[in-house]
C-alpha cells in the first residue's frame, strides 16, 4: 500500500512538473518540433542528463542498487514503433505520458488522444500473433544489452567499456547541450509575434 501511495505522489509531482514546463501544451510541442522555440527541448535534455548523472554516479558510489536498473530489449519493432510514436506526437502534440497529464489538467483534446491510444493498443493486441510471426519482435544485438558493461548488472555490454562511465559521460553531454542550445534554430517564435502585437497595442493606447 505504501508503494502505491508513493507511486501516486511521485506520479502526481511528475505530472505537475510536465504541465508547468509546457509539455502538456500541443502548441509548445509544435514550437519545439519546428525549432522555433527550444525551451521545452532544453528542459527535456537537462532532465535526461541530470537523471543519467545521478543514476550512474550513484551506482559507481554504491548509493544506487544496480539491480534496479532496467533495460528494454532491442528489436526491429521498437524502432518502427518509435517512428510511429514520433509521428503521432508531432501530429497530436501529445505523447502517452503528457497526454494523460493534459487530460488531468482539463484538456478535452487529450481525452480523444488517450482514446485513440487505447484503440491502437487494442489493435496491436489483436494482431500480435501476426507481428510475432513476422520476425519484427525478434531480439537484435543481443536483446537486453547496454552500450558498456555495468558492473553488478545482469545485462551484457555491446562494447568493452565501463558502462557507468559511458552513462555518466552521456548524461553530462546532454546537460552541456541543454545549456549550449540557443532559444531557437529556425523562424520566429509565435509567442514573440504575439508579444510584439500586444506591446504595439499598449503603445497606441
Distance CA 66, CA 116 (A): 37
Give the number of C-alpha atoms closer than 13 A to the C-alpha of residue 197, restricted to the C-beta side: 6
pTM (predicted TM-score): 0.77
| Sequence ranges of the domains in the chain | 2-186
Torsion 100-105-109-115 (CA) sign: positive
The chain-wide mean pLDDT, for the chain, equals 85
**The predicted structure's pLDDT at residue 128:** 93
Per-residue pLDDT 10s for the chain (205 aa) are: 688 888 889 888 988 888 888 888 999 888 998 899 999 899 999 999 999 999 999 989 988 888 888 888 888 888 888 898 889 888 889 988 889 999 988 899 999 999 999 999 999 999 999 999 998 888 887 788 888 888 888 888 888 888 899 999 999 999 999 999 998 887 777 655 444 433 444 334 4
Cα 192 from chain centre: 26
Amino acid at each position: 500500500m505504501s508503494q502505491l501511495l508513493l507511486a501516486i505522489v511521485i506520479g502526481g509531482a511528475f505530472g505537475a512538473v510536465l504541465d508547468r514546463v509546457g509539455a502538456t501544451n500541443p502548441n509548445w510541442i509544435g514550437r519545439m518540433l519546428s525549432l522555433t522555440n527550444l525551451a521545452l527541448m532544453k528542459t527535456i535534455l537537462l532532465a535526461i542528463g541530470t537523471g543519467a548523472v545521478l543514476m550512474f554516479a550513484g551506482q559507481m558510489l554504491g548509493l544506487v542498487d544496480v539491480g534496479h536498473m532496467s533495460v528494454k530489449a532491442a528489436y526491429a519493432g521498437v524502432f518502427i514503433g518509435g517512428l510511429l510514436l514520433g509521428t503521432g506526437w508531432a501530429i497530436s502534440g501529445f505523447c502517452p505520458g503528457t497526454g494523460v497529464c493534459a487530460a488531468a489538467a482539463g484538456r478535452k483534446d487529450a481525452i480523444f488522444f488517450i482514446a485513440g491510444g487505447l484503440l491502437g493498443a487494442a489493435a496491436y493486441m489483436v494482431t500480435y500473433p501476426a507481428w510475432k510471426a513476422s520476425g519484427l519482435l525478434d531480439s537484435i544485438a543481443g536483446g537486453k544489452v547496454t552500450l558498456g558493461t555495468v558492473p553488478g548488472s545482469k545485462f551484457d555490454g555491446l562494447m568493452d567499456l565501463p558502462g557507468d562511465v559511458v552513462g555518466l559521460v552521456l548524461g553530462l553531454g546532454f546537460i552541456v547541450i541543454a545549456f549550449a542550445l540557443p532559444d531557437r534554430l529556425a523562424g520566429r517564435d509565435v509567442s514573440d509575434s504575439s508579444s510584439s502585437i500586444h506591446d504595439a497595442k499598449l503603445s497606441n493606447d
